[in-house]
Amino acid sequence: MSTLPNPAPTVTQANAAFWAATAEGRFQLQRCNECDTVLWFPRRHCPSCWTENVSTFDASGKGVIYSFTVIRKGAMAYKESGPFVVAYVELAEGPRVMTNIVDCDVETVTVGMPVEVVFHDTGQGNALYRFRPSSK
């Protein structure tokens, strides 16, 4: 099992609220109040109807792996990580988000595997949302 670095994301005006919530162990999503679309990635306007009438809610943190790869040799912050998994996780709420799969042998990861969110503190006032295998 590899230990991953926790590089801090680039926080901007547009994503500050999302990242601040991760420090409290909350994975937040936005939903459009006009057309009910769940948004990803965070932004000011709904990408389906382009209105700015969107609200924020705490997501379930549950999902399944849509696709993944085992990166055999990382670079930069991940240079010493050994093989690690990057995946798209399809959240229960719909969006497919890029992330790492952790807390398991990389050789056991499969498409369709149920996963749940965990948070890894970056030390910069936020945490990376990663996912680990779950029982559903």
Partner 1 sequence: MSIRGAAYIAGIYEHPGRDLPDLTVWEIHIDVARGALADAGLGMEDVDALFCDGTAGFGVLTLADYFNINPTYVDSTETGGSSYLAHVGHAAAAIAAGKCNVALVTLAGKPKSGWQGPSFTPGPESAFEQVWGMMGAPHSYALAAQRHMYEFGTTSAQLAEIKVAASIHAQYNPNAFLQKVVTVDEVLNSPMVADPLHRLDCCVVTDGGGALVIVSPEIAKKLGKTNAKILGHGEAVKHTNNGRIDLTHTGAVWSGPKAFAEAGVNVKDINYASIYDSFTITVLQTIEDLGFCEKGKGGAFVADGGLVAPFGKLPFNTDGGGLCNNHPSNRGGITKVIEAVRQLRGEAHPAVQVPNPQIALAHGTGGSLGSRHGSVTLILGQEDA
Per rule CB under 8 A, is residue 1 in the interface with partner 1?
A: no
Per rule CB under 8 A, is residue 82 in the interface with partner 1?
A: no
Long-range CB contacts (< 8 A, 24+ apart) of 75-83?
77/5, 77/7, 78/4, 78/5, 81/2, 81/3, 81/4, 81/5, 82/2, 83/2
Per rule CB under 8 A, is residue 20 in the interface with partner 1?
A: no
Single out the segment in contact with partner 1 by CB under 8 A; choices: 20-28, 40-48, 54-62. 40-48
The helix (H) or strand (E) run that includes residue 69 is: strand 62-71
Residues of the shown chain interacting with partner 1 in the complex, contacts defined by CB under 8 A: 4, 7-12, 14-15, 19, 37-41, 43, 47-48, 66-78, 81, 84, 86-88, 94-100, 111-112, 128
